[in-house]
């Protein structure tokens, strides 16, 4: 098939809409179920590139959770701790396959943003992963293949309308890519930059001890940024992104946004949160929302309104600012990637509050000396990659 007609474009008023190949090639995507839309396919194709590169760089199964052409989460298939199983709502599923673990991590990094996501998988979708996908709210999935039982399970989702796409893993796009804006055609060479450990060789700080775990996390952060709408910053730890700040005009706003998401990810693991007495009838999405409210500054207002009775069996104790700060101080050895240079040391100050110990960024700012100085103050390790990763 060289062409696929779509229901509409980005919005219902944008018709007609289709995807097609300009040359004689077949589309690299086969629809096994459902009817994907314009944004679904943008998410699917960006997500597939991300997980394919994560797989190649790490040697591990990889997954991504995409929303509106930026990842909400990305991860490789490292085993989950008991705490992570609990905060990702998979503690009832037993031991997960590496691919399912990767998606649990990708989905769990920022569960609010991942609600209604498009899923990308690096490997053939197995039954473990399909079981996890089936229970979450999402628009569709793209993978290089599906186990028969997994495919049948996914086809039954959303009353049979769930989008299941199969990508031709051998497909190689043309070296030149084009798009139109306002009737004007833009053309550029594809970003074929390979992100690997060699990209992290130029360490410019006094501390030059970059652990293997940190190298993996920095690669995950950089590959994630390669497919995130710019400006963007990504915090990563233990084989997964834990906070992604996308599409901000200011670098420090990216750092703050991603840092807040990383903080929320870690606060979900605090004993006060793990012990929340949810009503048995509360669904996972409502629990996620309630947790975000509980760890937020507005929880005092919610308690005053008595809204807790709709979610909890009993009134939970206040998780105050001092307690949250004390818990966040335990977050350590976080890695941070940036798609362009840090222009000021305030970015590093903010990153330090979220446990960042390792940084990869292009370098090249007139204030590089100031940024390095702040890193040295906190004994951080920072590598200059020399490569910008803007994506639009």
Is 377 among the catalytic positions? no
Is 155 among the catalytic positions? no
- Cα 192 to its chain centre, rounded Å, is 21
- Which of 13, 23, 159, 392 is the catalytic position? 392
- Cα 326 to its chain centre, rounded Å, is 26
Token code pair at residue 236: 């990563």
Is 392 among the catalytic positions? yes
Q: Find where tokens 């990563």 sit.
A: 236
C-alpha separations of 240 from 79, 179, 224, 235, 308 in Å: 11, 31, 10, 9, 32
For Cα atoms 40, 45, 46, give the angle at the middle one, nearest 5 degrees. Answer: 100
In the chain, which ranges are continuous DSSP H helix? 38-58, 82-87, 98-108, 111-114, 127-135, 148-155, 212-226, 251-267, 271-274, 284-294, 299-305, 321-328, 346-353, 368-377
Is 352 among the catalytic positions? no
CA distance 125 to 148: 9
- Cα 391 to its chain centre, rounded Å, is 15
**Cis? peptide before 16, omega within 30° of 0:** yes
- Which of 33, 40, 46, 67 is the catalytic position? 67
Contact between residue 168 and residue 28 where contact means Cβ atoms under 8 Å apart: yes
Please count the other Cβ atoms lying within 10 Å of the Cβ belonging to residue 26. 12
Considering all CA atoms of the chain, what is the largest pairwise distance in Å, rounded to the nearest integer?
64
- Which of 68, 86, 155, 158 is the catalytic position? 68
- Which of 46, 163, 231, 264 is the catalytic position? 231
Annotated catalytic residues are 67-68, 231, 392
């Amino acid at each position: 098939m060289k062409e696929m007609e779509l229901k509409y474009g980005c919005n219902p008023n944008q018709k007609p809409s289709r995807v097609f190949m300009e040359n004689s090639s077949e589309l690299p995507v086969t629809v096994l179920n459902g009817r994907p839309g314009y944004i679904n396919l943008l998410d699917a194709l960006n997500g597939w590139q991300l997980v394919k590169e994560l797989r190649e760089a790490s040697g591990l199964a990889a997954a991504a959770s995409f929303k509106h052409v930026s990842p909400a989460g990305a991860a490789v298939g490292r085993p989950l701790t008991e705490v992570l199983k609990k905060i990702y709502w998979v503690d009832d599923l037993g031991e997960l396959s590496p691919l399912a673990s990767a998606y649990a991590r990708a989905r769990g990094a920022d569960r609010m943003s991942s609600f209604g996501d498009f899923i990308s998988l690096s490997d053939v979708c197995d039954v473990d992963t399909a079981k996890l996908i089936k229970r979450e709210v999402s628009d569709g999935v793209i993978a290089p293949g599906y186990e028969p039982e997994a495919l049948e399970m996914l086809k039954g989702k959303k009353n049979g309308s769930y989008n299941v796409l199969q990508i031709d893993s051998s497909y190689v796009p043309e070296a030149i890519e084009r798009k139109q804006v306002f009737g004007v055609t833009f053309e550029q060479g594809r970003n074929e930059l390979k992100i690997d450990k060699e990209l992290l060789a130029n360490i410019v700080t006094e501390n030059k001890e970059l652990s293997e775990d940190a190298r993996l996390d920095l690669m995950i952060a950089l590959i994630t940024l390669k497919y995130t709408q710019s400006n963007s910053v990504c915090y990563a730890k233990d084989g997964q992104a834990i906070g992604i700040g996308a599409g901000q005009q200011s670098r420090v706003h990216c750092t703050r946004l991603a840092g807040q998401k990383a903080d929320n990810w870690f606060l979900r693991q605090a004993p006060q949160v793990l012990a929340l007495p949810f009503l048995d009838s509360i669904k996972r999405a409502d629990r996620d929302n309630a947790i975000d409210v509980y760890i937020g500054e507005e929880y005092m207002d919610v308690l005053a309104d008595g809204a807790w009775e709709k979610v909890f069996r009993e009134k939970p104790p206040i998780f105050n600012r001092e307690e949250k700060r004390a818990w966040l101080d335990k977050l350590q050895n976080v890695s941070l990637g940036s798609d362009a240079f840090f222009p000021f040391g305030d970015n590093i100050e903010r990153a330090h509050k979220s446990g960042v110990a390792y940084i990869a960024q292009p370098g090249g700012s007139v204030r590089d000396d100031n940024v390095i100085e702040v890193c040295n103050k906190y004994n951080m390790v920072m590598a200059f990659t020399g490569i910008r990763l803007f994506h639009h």
